[in-house]
């Protein structure tokens, strides 16, 4: 019932609106790509080299925005899941599942860039401290979320179960974020963002680079979300079309 109520943008919009949506998607892609190119220049050419860690510190400008945007993605999963359980409207399920996919990709990159940064600085690729362990748990939760959806034959049941997991799983996000303040870990305490306890030591150019990188990743995140939502709407239209065709065939046979 929900999927029939929520037809796609392509069904509802006329040719002019469709062209505007396509143009918006193209502009978003070009903006994300252009900002990311400038971001690479700022990170590797313009931002000064950190005195202690050297060039490896430049991973910071990728690692931190990826982590922040993964938190945002899982917050979107949380909101979409709550709204789906409340409204039973498939648009919220599509929003939550799209955000989960993007969040898993970003968290995977966090788990890759972190050890690359850690090895020269700490002398180890990985240690089971609270921040790293809870981040890995966060990744496993949302990989499980996607697997639950992928291997369930009942779409409505999969949407409900994954929504519950999306709500419960979000509990780990503040634990990951504040872990360095709550426990002694290999990481230093929060030096930027909410809950900061220490000064960051970043000079003005470093701060500009970090916030520009965050902006570039926000555009990338927005484009990926738009793309996945569009794909999911198309997939839903195809399922509805197949369902309607089967009903028509049954009516013809009975007639």
pLDDT at 186 over 80: no
Mean pLDDT of the chain: 87
Higher confidence at residue 97 or residue 236?
A: 97
The set of long-range contacts for 30-37, using a CB threshold of 8 Å and a minimum separation of 24, is: 31/219, 32/216, 32/219, 32/220, 32/222, 32/223, 35/212, 35/215, 35/216, 35/219, 35/220, 36/216, 36/219, 36/220
pLDDT digits (tens, 9 = 90+) for 153-183: 888 999 999 999 999 999 999 999 998 888 8
Question: Rounded CA gap, 47 and 38, in Å?
Answer: 12
pLDDT (average), residues 212-220: 97
Q: What angle do CA 161, 151, 95 make, to 5 degrees?
A: 55
pLDDT digits (tens, 9 = 90+) for 19-65: 667 888 899 999 999 999 999 999 999 999 888 888 998 999 999 99
pLDDT at 192 over 90: no
Scan for tokens 């860690």, then name that residue.
53
Question: Rounded CA gap, 69 and 107, in Å?
Answer: 9
Indicate the pTM of the whole model.
0.86
Residue 2: pLDDT band by 50, 70, 90 thresholds?
very low
Q: Tokens in use for 13?
A: 């919009």
The pLDDT > 90 percentage for the chain reads: 60
For 249, counting Cβ atoms within 10 Å of its Cβ (0-12 exposed, 13-18 middle, 19+ buried), the class is exposed
Higher confidence at residue 86 or residue 181?
A: 86
Higher confidence at residue 57 or residue 85?
A: 85
Q: What is the pLDDT of residue 9?
A: 45
Q: Tokens in use for 163?
A: 């929504």
Q: Tokens in use for 12?
A: 């509802």
**Contact (CB, 8 A) for 138 and 74:** yes
Question: Rounded CA gap, 92 and 56, in Å?
Answer: 40
pLDDT digits (tens, 9 = 90+) for 96-106: 999 999 999 99
CA atoms within 13 A on the CB side of 221: 24
pLDDT at 237 over 80: no
The pLDDT > 70 percentage for the chain reads: 83
> Quick one: which of 144, 149, 177 has its CA closest to 71?
177
Characterize 91-126 residue by residue with b for buried, 16 or more Cβ atoms within 10 angstroms of its Cβ, and e for exposed. bbbbbbbbbbbbbbbbbebbbebbeebbeeeeeeee
């Amino acid at each position: 019932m929900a999927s029939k109520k929520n037809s796609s943008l392509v069904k509802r919009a006329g040719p002019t609106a469709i062209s505007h949506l396509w143009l918006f998607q193209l502009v978003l892609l070009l903006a994300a790509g252009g900002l990311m190119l400038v971001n690479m220049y700022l990170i590797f050419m313009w931002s000064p080299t950190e005195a202690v860690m050297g060039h490896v510190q430049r991973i910071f400008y990728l690692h931190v925005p990826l982590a922040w945007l993964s938190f945002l993605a899982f917050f979107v999963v949380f909101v979409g899941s709550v709204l789906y359980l409340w409204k039973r409207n498939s648009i919220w399920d599509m929003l939550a599942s799209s955000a989960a996919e993007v969040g898993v990709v970003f968290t995977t990159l966090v788990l890759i860039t972190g050890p690359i940064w850690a090895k020269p600085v700490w002398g180890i690729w990985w240690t089971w401290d609270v921040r790293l362990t809870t981040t890995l748990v966060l990744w496993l939760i949302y990989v499980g979320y996607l697997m639950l959806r992928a291997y369930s034959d009942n779409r409505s049941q999969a949407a409900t179960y994954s929504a519950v997991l999306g709500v419960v799983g979000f509990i780990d996000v503040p634990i990951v974020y504040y872990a360095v303040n709550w426990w002694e870990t290999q990481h230093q305490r929060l030096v930027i963002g909410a809950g900061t306890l220490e000064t960051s030591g970043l000079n003005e150019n470093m701060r500009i680079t970090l916030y520009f990188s965050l902006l570039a990743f926000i555009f990338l995140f927005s484009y990926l979300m738009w793309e996945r939502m569009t794909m999911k709407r198309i997939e839903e239209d195809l399922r509805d079309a197949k369902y309607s065709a089967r009903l028509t065939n049954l009516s013809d046979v009975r007639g």
